[in-house]
């Protein structure tokens, strides 16, 4: 069976599975739609949270970044994993103890203000739409290659699928769908990584192969370590050594911080801890999520390194002098059709050559590296089809979670809690599904017109979460004295500052998006940490100049931090 047929078969089977699960677990009430009824088992919730959190940026783009930039790409791995630890230990149990449906719900009640709730809704929507743009772009990249359609058409197909099961099933349907998606995703990622590790180093575990010697043609240890080989290839082609960082330390620090604190402020991840029955289950669920995340994240550096070696040697040939384009490997011809790989024969010799600077003749989109790896390494056709299904699972799982945040922010936090307090449960559910439908259309637009490659777009979303929601949530839990005026002012200041900085360098003056022009050398991906600090400073100053927090709210905050007891998630 050829690759195309296998891809249609495996992807079609996974899509059918997602839709069957959505129909089986269809939400019949707002509680099932928002928090899956509040009765999800911690292990199940841990797996669903891992799928929700490990988006197309993790599955498709992160290994591509590490593969292309080497050591500098580790900032994304450190930031995202460190942020989840922060969320799991510092915030998840307390938010579950509060027992609300959404992050704006928590902010509105904790800061005893509808204005605070509305500002939190705006923050959640900005973060979610920015994040979902990257997921829809990832969907388009997968479809464009494996279903032989253009990227825009791929985005539209993804929109239709995610709309069906997220709108029909709500959080209940999404939770069980994401369990299936995690299984597809992790299997699809690990299989080619294990194949490559065995083929190149003789080790089954990619994590061990990453630090091992490469095998020679006879299958014996060559005496050359994988990373030494990469350092040599990189310097030979004009790149920096693979294992040496080139980014400014200050920018690395701020990107890492923005990703960490942004993770702890992501509304679609936080809401996951409202779906388990008890506070204890929230902690257990967080622990299982870390285990499920670690499987993929410890494999990414190894897969990136294997793929980098194979890609360079495939394009430049074993002697490093280039390969005739007329005799190019099939994977190059396949990806050229998508426009994500392009060849410019600068010297007219008919040979492809990949290097840095003027000598380079290859334009390669870094988002393709994971998807193209099985083809580059000549792995079996079923592995190529499997990784297509995994990439789609990663993009669609997070898209569904983000759509739920968008729909609940509109129907529950804006309408039910603000503008239309007397609407019925059935009516609220209808508005939630309508909001999800509008959200899909807007997300599709940003997927067709993204502001950058997948991981960069997602990094910006994390920065916006760090600068807007994280301080309000943290102070809401750990400070009895933070009042509504301070929280509102802080969220507004942090969000507006970060948006202005990002929009200027990404859209208004993209040519100026270089380190020499950045504030203190901080890139748009890292500016969220500055916005977060500004949020804290503004909030504290305004708090000290305005009325104190009512005593009953202070008592409520104190009660959140007690270790025992929890109310079930409710809208009361």
The pLDDT of residue 501: 93
The pLDDT of residue 486: 96
The pLDDT of residue 101: 63
pLDDT tens sequence across 441-476: 887 887 777 655 556 677 788 889 999 999 999 999
Q: Does a structural domain hold residue 189?
A: yes
pLDDT tens sequence across 116-130: 999 998 998 888 888
The pLDDT of residue 395: 74
- Position with higher pLDDT, 452 vs 134: 134
Interatomic CA distance for residues 542 and 204, integer angstroms: 57
Interatomic CA distance for residues 322 and 184, integer angstroms: 37
- 452 near 137, Cβ under 8 Å? no
Of 180-194, 344-358, 387-401, 478-492, the range with the lowest mean pLDDT is 387-401
* Residues contacting 543, CB < 8 A, separation 6+: 481, 482, 483, 485, 486
Q: What is the CA 554 to chain-centroid distance, rounded?
A: 35
Q: Does a structural domain hold residue 545?
A: no
The pLDDT of residue 357: 84
The pLDDT of residue 452: 57
Q: Is the pLDDT of residue 281 over 90?
A: no
SS (H, E, C) 105-137: HHHHHHCCCHHHHHHHHHHHHHHHHHHHHHHHH
* Residues contacting 182, CB < 8 A, separation 6+: 47, 48, 50, 51, 54, 292, 393, 397
Q: Does a structural domain hold residue 120?
A: yes
Q: Is the pLDDT of residue 198 over 90?
A: yes
Residues 43, 187, 15: CA angle, nearest 5 degrees: 85
Q: What is the CA 550 to chain-centroid distance, rounded?
A: 38
* Locus of tokens 């992501």: 266
The pLDDT of residue 165: 61
pLDDT band at 511 (very low <50, low <70, confident <90, very high): confident
The pLDDT of residue 484: 95
pLDDT tens sequence across 251-275: 999 999 998 898 888 777 777 777 7
pLDDT tens sequence across 529-564: 999 999 999 999 999 999 999 999 988 888 876 645
The pLDDT of residue 28: 56
Q: Does a structural domain hold residue 41?
A: yes
pLDDT tens sequence across 496-505: 999 999 888 8
Q: What is the CA 256 to chain-centroid distance, rounded?
A: 14
Interatomic CA distance for residues 540 and 285, integer angstroms: 33
Q: Does a structural domain hold residue 329?
A: no
Question: How many folded domains does the chain comprise?
Answer: 1
Burial of 503-529, coded b for 16+ CB within 10 Å and e otherwise, reads eebbeeeeeebeeeebeeebbbbbbbb
* Residues contacting 38, CB < 8 A, separation 6+: 31, 274, 275, 276, 277, 568, 569
Nearest-CA neighbor of 139 among 433, 450, 380?
450
State the DSSP code for 225: E
- 467 near 535, Cβ under 8 Å? yes
- Measuring CA to CA, how many Å separate 46 from each of 41, 183, 291, 370? 8, 12, 9, 25
Q: Is the pLDDT of residue 567 over 60?
A: no
Nearest-CA neighbor of 174 among 44, 301, 82?
44
Residues 8, 12, 15: CA angle, nearest 5 degrees: 145
Q: Is the pLDDT of residue 243 over 60?
A: yes
* Residues contacting 353, CB < 8 A, separation 6+: 315, 316, 321, 322, 359, 360, 361, 362
Instruction: Give the mean pLDDT of 427-438.
Output: 80
Interatomic CA distance for residues 227 and 245, integer angstroms: 14
- Position with higher pLDDT, 138 vs 223: 223
Look up the domain containing 19 and give its range: 3-220+236-307+379-444
Neighbours of 346 (CB within 10 A): 11
pLDDT tens sequence across 469-507: 999 999 998 899 999 999 999 999 999 999 999 888 887
Interatomic CA distance for residues 118 and 127, integer angstroms: 14
Q: Is the pLDDT of residue 572 over 60?
A: no
pLDDT band at 299 (very low <50, low <70, confident <90, very high): very high
pLDDT band at 30 (very low <50, low <70, confident <90, very high): low
Instruction: Give the mean pLDDT of 94-114.
Output: 81
Within a 13 Å sphere around the CA of 177, how many CA atoms are in the beta-carbon half? 40
* Locus of tokens 């079923």: 382
The pLDDT of residue 571: 53
* Residues contacting 430, CB < 8 A, separation 6+: none
Q: Does a structural domain hold residue 156?
A: yes
The pLDDT of residue 196: 94
- Position with higher pLDDT, 354 vs 83: 354
CA 284, 285, 287, 292 torsion-angle sign: positive
Interatomic CA distance for residues 196 and 198, integer angstroms: 5
Maximum distance among all Cα pairs of the chain, rounded to whole angstroms: 79
CA 263, 265, 269, 272 torsion-angle sign: positive
pLDDT band at 201 (very low <50, low <70, confident <90, very high): very high
* Structural tokens at position 468: 């807007």
> For all residues of the chain together, what is the average pLDDT?
83
Q: Does a structural domain hold residue 458?
A: no
- Position with higher pLDDT, 203 vs 131: 203
Instruction: Give the mean pLDDT of 178-206.
Output: 91
Interatomic CA distance for residues 230 and 421, integer angstroms: 61
| Torsion angle in degrees (nearest 10) through CA of 48, 52, 57, 60 | 40
| Torsion angle in degrees (nearest 10) through CA of 456, 51, 398, 405 | -120
Q: Which residues pair with 324 in a beta bridge?
A: 351
pLDDT tens sequence across 152-185: 887 888 787 777 766 665 666 677 778 888 888 8
State the DSSP code for 561: T
pLDDT band at 49 (very low <50, low <70, confident <90, very high): confident
Q: Pinpoint the alpha helices (H) of 449-564.
A: 454-478, 484-503, 527-545, 551-560
Q: Does a structural domain hold residue 291?
A: yes
Report the CATH number at residue 61: 1.20.1730.10
Q: What are the E-state strand segments in 298-359?
A: 323-324, 341-343, 351-352
Nearest-CA neighbor of 50 among 416, 326, 539, 401?
401
Instruction: Give the mean pLDDT of 331-358.
Output: 86
Share of the chain above pLDDT 70, in %: 91
Nearest-CA neighbor of 485 among 550, 536, 542?
542
Q: Is the pLDDT of residue 38 over 70?
A: no
């Amino acid at each position: 069976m050829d690759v195309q047929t296998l891809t249609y078969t495996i992807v079609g089977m996974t899509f059918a599975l997602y839709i069957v699960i959505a129909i089986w677990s269809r939400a019949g009430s707002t509680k099932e739609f928002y928090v899956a009824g509040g009765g999800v088992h911690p292990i199940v919730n841990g797996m669903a949270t891992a799928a929700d959190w490990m988006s197309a940026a993790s599955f498709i783009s992160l290994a591509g970044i590490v593969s292309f930039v080497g050591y500098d790409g580790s900032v994304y791995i450190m930031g995202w994993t460190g942020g989840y630890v922060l969320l799991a230990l510092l915030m998840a149990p307390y938010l579950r103890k509060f027992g609300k449906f959404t992050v704006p719900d928590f902010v509105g009640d904790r800061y005893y203000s509808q204005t605070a709730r509305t500002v939190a809704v705006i923050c959640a929507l900005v973060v979610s739409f920015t994040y979902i743009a990257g997921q829809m772009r990832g969907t388009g990249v997968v479809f464009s290659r494996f279903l032989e359609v253009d990227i825009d058409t791929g985005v539209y197909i993804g929109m239709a699928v995610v709309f069906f099961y997220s709108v029909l099933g709500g959080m209940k349907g999404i939770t069980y769908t994401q369990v299936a998606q995690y299984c597809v995703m992790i299997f699809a990622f690990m299989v080619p990584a294990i194949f490559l590790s065995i083929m190149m180093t003789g080790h089954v575990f990619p994590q061990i192969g990453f630090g091992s010697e490469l095998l020679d043609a006879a299958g014996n240890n060559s005496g050359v370590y994988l990373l030494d080989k990469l350092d040599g290839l990189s310097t030979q082609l004009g790149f920096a050594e693979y294992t040496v960082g080139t980014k400014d330390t200050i920018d690395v620090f701020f990107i890492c911080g923005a990703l960490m604190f942004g993770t702890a402020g992501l509304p679609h991840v936080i809401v996951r801890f409202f779906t388990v029955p008890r506070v204890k289950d929230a902690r257990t669920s967080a622990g299982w999520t870390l285990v499920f995340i670690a499987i993929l994240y410890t494999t990414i550096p190894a897969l990136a390194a294997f793929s980098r070696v194979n890609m360079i040697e495939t394009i430049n040939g074993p002697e490093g002098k280039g390969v005739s384009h007329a005799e190019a490997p099939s994977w190059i011809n396949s990806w050229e059709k998508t426009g994500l790989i392009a060849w410019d024969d600068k010297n007219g010799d008919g040979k492809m050559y990949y290097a840095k600077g003027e000598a380079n003749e290859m334009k390669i989109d870094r988002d393709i590296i994971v998807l193209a790896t099985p083809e580059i390494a000549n792995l079996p056709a079923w592995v190529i089809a499997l990784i297509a299904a995994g990439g789609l699972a990663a993009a669609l799982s997070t898209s569904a979670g983000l759509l739920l945040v968008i729909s609940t922010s509109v129907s529950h936090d804006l309408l039910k809690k603000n503008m239309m307090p007397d609407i019925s449960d059935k009516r609220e559910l209808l508005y939630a599904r309508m909001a999800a439908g509008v959200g899909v259309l807007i997300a599709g637009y940003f997927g067709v017109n993204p502001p950058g490659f997948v991981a960069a777009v997602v990094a910006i979303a994390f920065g916006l979460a760090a600068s807007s929601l994280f301080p309000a949530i943290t102070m809401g839990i750990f400070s009895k004295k933070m009042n509504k005026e301070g929280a509102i002012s802080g969220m507004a200041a942090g969000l507006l500052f970060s948006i202005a900085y990002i929009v200027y360098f990404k859209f208004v003056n993209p040519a100026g998006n270089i380190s020499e022009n950045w504030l203190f050398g901080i890139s748009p991906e890292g500016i969220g940490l500055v916005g977060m600090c500004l949020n804290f400073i503004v909030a504290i100053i305004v708090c000290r100049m305005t009325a104190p927090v009512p005593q009953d709210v202070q008592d409520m905050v104190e009660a959140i931090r007690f270790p025992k007891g929890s109310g079930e998630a409710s809208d009361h």
